[in-house]
């Protein structure tokens, strides 16, 4: 006599099953939306010209390389000290420099061509006067000229190397 008729329990069961299905569907929709948002927010931007070909643009590749390099420690190459006669004869320069490059691969390439680099830099330094090198502007211009001399290709058809910076570590004019 305390039995409930089946008609009363069926709507409750149908209501709980439909609520469970709705909750599962909403959860799947939210997870799908979160996944799509993650995909679009973390995907690197591809310029419109590259999007049509399906290839990444060189700028995008260079930017990705730069981001990878930001965390990498700097790579320095110690150059042997230079002693050269300055123009006009009578004074000389004793100087030491360090080169900063992108990575060990570039450092190894530069070391292979060190005799050519030293020759280029000796010719460059020996063409300078004490007056132009004694000023800050002269030293700054010298660094730029050194970078250009080093970055010239070492043979016909060879790819130039890239120097990030030249640092003067010792500089004495006598």
Q: Which DSSP string do the residues of 44-80 spell out, in sequence order?
A: PP--HHHHHHT---HHHHHHHHHHHHHTSPPEEEEPP
The alpha carbons of the chain give a radius of gyration, in whole angstroms, of 34
Q: Name the region of 138 (left: φ>0; alpha: ψ -120 to 50; beta: rest).
A: alpha
Whole-number pLDDT of residue 20? 83
For the chain, what is the total number of helices (H) and then of strands (E)?
7, 4
Q: Tokens for 77?
A: 């190459």
Q: Is the pLDDT of residue 135 over 80?
A: yes
| Eight-class DSSP state of 86 | P
Among candidate residues 87, 98, 94, 81, the one with its CA nearest the CA of residue 150: 98
pLDDT(137) > 80: yes
Q: 74-173 has which CATH code?
A: 3.30.479.30
pLDDT of residue 51: 45
pLDDT band at residue 118 under the 50/70/90 scheme: very high
Q: What is the band of 37 on the pLDDT scale with cuts at 50, 70, 90?
A: low
Q: How far apart are CA 151 and CA 154, in angstroms?
A: 8
Higher pLDDT, 22 or 44: 22
Which residues in the chain belong to E strands, given as ranges?
Answer: 75-78, 82-85, 92-101, 163-173
Residue 9 has pLDDT above 60, yes or no: no
Rounded Cα distance, 125 and 147, in Å: 13
Reported pTM: 0.58
Does 54 score more than 60 pLDDT?
Answer: no
90-114: per-residue pLDDT in tens?
899 999 999 999 999 999 999 999 9
47 vs 28, more confident: 28
Per-residue pLDDT, averaged over 140-156, amounts to 93
Portions of the chain given CATH number 3.30.479.30 = 74-173
Question: pLDDT tier at 163 (50, 70, 90 boundaries)?
Answer: very high
């Amino acid at each position: 006599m305390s039995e409930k008729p089946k008609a009363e329990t069926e709507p409750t069961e149908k209501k709980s099953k439909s609520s469970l299905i709705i909750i599962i569907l909403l959860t799947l929709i939210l997870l799908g939306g979160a996944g799509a948002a993650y995909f679009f927010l973390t995907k690197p931007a591809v310029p419109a010209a590259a999007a049509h070909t399906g290839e990444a643009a060189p700028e995008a590749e260079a930017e990705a390389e730069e981001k990878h390099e930001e965390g990498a420690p700097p790579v320095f190459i110690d150059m042997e000290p230079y002693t050269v006669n300055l123009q006009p004869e009578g004074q000389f320069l004793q100087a030491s420099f360090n080169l900063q490059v992108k990575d060990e691969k570039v450092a190894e390439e530069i070391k292979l061509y060190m005799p050519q680099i030293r020759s280029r830099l000796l010719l460059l330094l020996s063409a300078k006067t004490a007056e132009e090198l004694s000023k800050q502007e002269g030293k700054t211009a010298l660094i730029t000229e050194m970078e250009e001399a080093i970055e010239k290709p070492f043979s016909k058809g060879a790819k130039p190397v890239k120097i990030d910076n030249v640092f003067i570590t010792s500089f004495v004019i006598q």
